[in-house]
Amino acid sequence: MRATFKVTIMSCANCVANVEKAVRKIDGIEEVNINLIEEIMLVSFDESKTDKSKIAEAVKKAGYGAYSLDSAEDEADKPKEKDKKKASLIASIVIMAVLMVIAMIPKQNISINALLQLLLVIPVLILNRHFYINAFKAIKSGGTNMDVLVSLGSLCALFYSLFGLFMILLSFEKGNAQKAEEYSMNLYFDSAGMIVTLVSVGKFIESSSKKKTKDAIDSLIDMCPKKIIRIKTDENGEETEETISLEDIKKGDVILISKGEAASVDGKVVFGKADFDESAITGESVAIPKGIGDEVTSGTMVKEGYVRVRAEFVGEESTLMKIVKMTKEAGATKAPIARLADKISAVFVPVIIVIAVVTFLIWFFVTKDFSAAFTNGISVLVISCPCALGLATPVAITVATGLGARRGILFKSAESLERLRSTDTIVFDKTGTVTKGVVSLEGEVSRDEVRETSPLAMKILKDMGFETVMLTGDKKDKALAIASEAGVSSVRYELKPEDKARIVRELQNEGKKILMVGDGINDAPALAGAQVGMAMGAGKDIAIECADVVLMKSDLLDVVRAIVLSKKTITNIKQNLFWAFFYNILMIPLAAGVLRPFFGIGLNPMIGAACMSLSSICVCLNAIRLMGVKLDSKIEKEAPENETQNNEEKVSISATNNYNEIGCECKNIKGDDENMISFTVNKMMCEHCKKRVEDALLAIDKVVSATADLENKKVTVETDGEVDINVLKKAVKDAGYEVE
């Protein structure tokens, strides 16, 4: 059985390790995966040996909160919890500001000043008591985490300050004012409070940064309307409308979807007509007209018109929810690159504690200065940051999988996202992948047509250094013709279905790293056997078991986009890991006082706490940069070349074909006839693009005709009266093209 849990209070990779360790101890547990960013745990277990309640209890005993999401537990109290945390943080900052002033002002009465510091730090420590509670639970369960380091640093500063306060009072009792003044110079009440306050500030900012990494996924969920209109028909055939919630929709219900609303279910149109924007699911920028009998996908939005749709797949069975689930589960898996960070994080906290103790002992025995030794020891504790190491991979994976999902590219695991970048040979099934998979009649000849974008995709992949291979059961002549038109490097023909998996194995035995692209049905063995299997989902069947990556659109350019995303993500993760390692390698010796004897450079605990928080924030912000990755950069790069395809000059199938590319430039021209308007339209690549542009223009009132010229990238519009050229250009832009 597989169950999903919400796990709270996790802050770093050590927390993840502690939770995993606690759950794996339970008899019957088969697999545990945790998404630190989403705070989600996926558990596979033998329900004859354990159950959800035992798993949740084990997590709670380890010091964390947990409940099953499958039971749909209400999270209504979550906003209140966030508000309480924010209020506690503000109160801590205000009190600490007062405490810092009192600690730094000239002391007219040393005893009263020290007592005031104690009275002010107590509420700060109470407000931030979760650090101490979580640290205690972690140690009790046999684990360690960031809270242990923060708590140790804060409590050491507190107890040493309490000792100093006691000595101040004792010295005054004995009439030794000079001794009392010496102890007053080494009070760390402000440090004890500032450590937990600064870390809390850092965690608050980090939490806001991490929230941005989930926006792509959350925006998909938010697209579904919370209230739906259901059409009910009574026994007399009378129809009534009723408003229901998303959870109340059942298979077979007929729901009304009007302009501006998104479909909450997968189903078929039973009444009406509407233009659907499917960009959120498939990335298709042009609205698709739908009428009776046409399929509607959840998450797509009505731009014009209205329809009634009979629900066929609802709730978690709908396409939208499957996308969300798959994307979240991908974030819960670990990329191989994360293993090094996990191994280091597992021993990080104990090693830091040892380094802090050794630092204190060395400084104390060498200098006999307890205060300096104590300061350096605490600084080591609070400067160290297992959070940055633990966040380096998951934040980047979450951003990347969310970005991919918005573009119709679904990664089933972080491992597949990483493996994709290292492939060097791409094997394509022909029918339904390189070609449209539909047969059109040309005279008496039946021919499977090459997809419009296949030649461009093959050219870009070749320029990126990939070898492309097409597999087909077609006869030699037909296979060679298709391969030549598509521009693949080589072709294997007259194959049986089982031959595809054999060829993939043969290529892998030659040392090649294979990406197999197929329709996810006939190619299952080959998809499963390749280093990465990529299924053409066509907006449906997104949970194809044999594939590692699912492409929602039937577009080979998405193969290019997926590879670009993979490469950019792994580069980002390496940057995160480098800076996380570099930070600790640089800052721990500095905190330990290595430079103090030579240059007088050191760190006090408060600055250390601020630096620790800053390192985690920097990792999150760097990962968020992935949101700006241009997946079409390599595709757009081909635009200016504007090579013209000549059917008589096709190159051999070992090279890429020439074809009519994008980017001709010319000025806006208004014809001699005032009712004729011409202007440049870029990024038209094929007859499909031509039709899109023409249809978009014909939909405008007073437009009589529209003719797009692919070769010159120009469109000519005939109007019945005055039509603003900016209106025409906007329609073309909305269709997904550039105008000049």
Half-sphere exposure of 68 (CA within 13 A, CB side): 14
Place of tokens 């088969």: 30
**C-alpha–C-alpha distance, residues 52 and 9, integer Å:** 19
Helices and strands of the chain, counted as H and E runs = 26, 25
H or E stretch at 387: helix 386-391
Residue with tokens 């689930």: 325
Residue with tokens 């350019």: 557
Report whether 287 contacts 303 (CB < 8 A): yes
Among positive and negative, which fits the CA dihedral 55, 61, 62, 64?
positive
Residue labelled with tokens 């990335």: 283
Annotate 237-253 with three-state secondary structure.
CCEEEEEEEHHHCCCCC
The DSSP code sequence of 62-127 is: TT-EEEEGGGT---TTHHHHHHHHHHHHHHHHHHHHHHHHHHHS--SSHHHHHHHHHHHHHHHHHH
The CA–CA distances, whole Å, from 501 to 272, 400, 550 equal 46, 30, 19
User: Of the residues 190, 253, 266, 429, which is catalytic?
Assistant: 429
Strand 65-68: give its sheet, edge to edge: 29-35, 40-45, 2-8, 65-68
What is the C-alpha separation between 447 and 653, in angstroms, rounded? Answer: 19
Q: Are 450 and 428 in contact (CB under 8 A)?
A: no
Concerning whether 429 is annotated as a catalytic residue, the answer is: yes
8 A C-beta contact, residue 531 and residue 423: yes
Distance linking the first and last C-alpha atoms of the chain = 57
Distances in whole angstroms, Cα of residue 326 to Cα of each of 142, 263, 321, 398, 487: 33, 19, 8, 12, 33
Hey, which residues are catalytic here? 429
